[in-house]
Amino acid sequence: MPELPEVETVRRGLVPALEGRVIERATVNRPDLRFPFPDRMAERLTGARVLALRRRSKYILADLSTGETLLIHLGMSGRILISGVSMGAFHYDHPAPARHDHVVLDIEGGARVTFNDARRFGAMDLLETEKADRHWLLREIGPEPLGNAFDEDYLILRLKGRNTPIKAALLDQRIVAGLGNIYVCEVLHRAGIDPRKKAGAISKRHVAGLVPVIRAVLEEAIEAGGSSLRDYRQADGELGYFQHSFRVYDREDTPCPTGACGGTIHRIVQSGRSTFFCPHCQR
DNA sequence: ATGTGTTCCTGTCCGC
DNA sequence: TGCGGACAGGAACACA
């Protein structure tokens, strides 16, 4: 379920196991995911110390002592399992190797990080740390929604004149980073905006109102993910897939959670993807 | 330039 | 319980 909050939760879960530690062994079980792994990836990872774990949009970036940065994208079905560590009173044993365990990192001190991705829409690459921002996957991405560069004036400017539905505009990673199908549905419901409305036809006041809603929805989801880490809820050591209830996503035919409006959640398809919304209170 | 549809791949779920 | 089809949280790409 990797949108920005889930990726951030995975990053935070990896920090204790990875940051400051040496990758003792990297096992690469296939040549590619969405695109081929870089040449000699296993060798280039082996012996490297992880200096810092960062996140940009839905990408996890691990800066290494070798001057390279490991880029990880979870795609649709990517999962990261952590094992060989203790959290509170619980110890996560190494699981048996599983189908679609594409990359396994054995870490100094006994931790193991396993990247599993059934659909293989995920990605991994190694890039020069100094040039990370200019990597082709990162270059065109818009501002972080929780950062200072994302504000009312910016969003008004970027949506001005756009003829595409607001749903599609918010999914466009060049406009704002990290939102996916679920959180766009949640945001538009909370902001009371019809997902079919042309982005450029929404009043400045309503566009401005989207900014704090986007921030709040993402921050709440990150907080929920953080709770799941603190409470050691992931019995199998899988990071990021915390329980989080959505107000409209996947709730077709249920009453609008606004309560007062009396509407029902509808499902429509926009550019090939499901949109869930309340036609009564989203206008 | 901008907007839309297709595509990659496997797993799961639903109706028959 | 098996089988076919729809669908899935991403995003690059081709094309109008």
Tens-place pLDDT, residues A142-180: 999 999 999 999 999 999 999 999 999 999 999 999 999
For residue A147, which amino acid is it?
A: G
Is A24 catalytic? The answer is no
Query: 3-class secondary structure for A18-85?
Result: HCCCEEEEEEECCCECCCECCCCHHHHHCCCEEEEEEEECCEEEEEECCCEEEEEECCCCEEEEEECE
Asked whether residue A216's C-beta has any atom of DNA/RNA strand C within 7 A, the reply is no
Protein-contacted bases of chain B (C-beta within 7 A): 2-11
**Catalytic residue (choose from A25, A108, A273, A279):** A273
Is A3 catalytic? The answer is yes
Asked whether residue A154's C-beta has any atom of DNA/RNA strand C within 7 A, the reply is no
What are the structural domains, with CATH classification, of chain A?
A: 4-134 (3.20.190.10), 152-277 (1.10.8.50)
Q: What is the mean pLDDT of residues A1-17?
A: 91
**Is residue A42 scored above 90 in pLDDT?**
yes
Predicted local confidence at residue A231, as pLDDT: 64
pLDDT mean across residues, chain A: 92
Predicted local confidence at residue A159, as pLDDT: 96
In this structure, what token pair is assigned to residue A67? 């001057």
Is A2 catalytic? The answer is yes
Predicted local confidence at residue A242, as pLDDT: 67
A121 in Cβ contact with A75 (< 8 Å): yes
Q: What is the mean pLDDT of residues A214-227?
A: 91
Give chain A's end-to-end CA distance (angstroms, integer).
28
**Is residue A229 scored above 80 in pLDDT?**
no
A102 in Cβ contact with A65 (< 8 Å): no
Q: CA of A76 and C1' of C9: distance in angstroms?
A: 6
Instruction: Name A residues 121-140 whose Cβ lies under 7 Å from strand C.
Output: 121, 137, 140
Is A79 catalytic? The answer is no
**Catalytic residue (choose from A44, A56, A58, A79):** A58
Q: What is the mean pLDDT of residues A23-27?
A: 98
Q: What is the pLDDT of residues A230-265, one digit of tens each?
A: 765 566 778 877 667 899 999 999 999 998 889 999
Predicted local confidence at residue A1, as pLDDT: 56
Looking at chain A, the whole-number percentage of residues with pLDDT higher than 90 is 86
Q: What is the mean pLDDT of residues A27-39?
A: 95
Q: CA of A244 and C1' of B6: distance in angstroms?
A: 31
Q: What is the mean pLDDT of residues A118-134?
A: 94
Predicted local confidence at residue A245, as pLDDT: 82
Kindly indicate the confidence band of residue A59, based on its pLDDT and cuts at 50, 70 and 90: very high
Higher pLDDT, A231 or A112: A112
Asked whether residue A165's C-beta has any atom of DNA/RNA strand C within 7 A, the reply is no
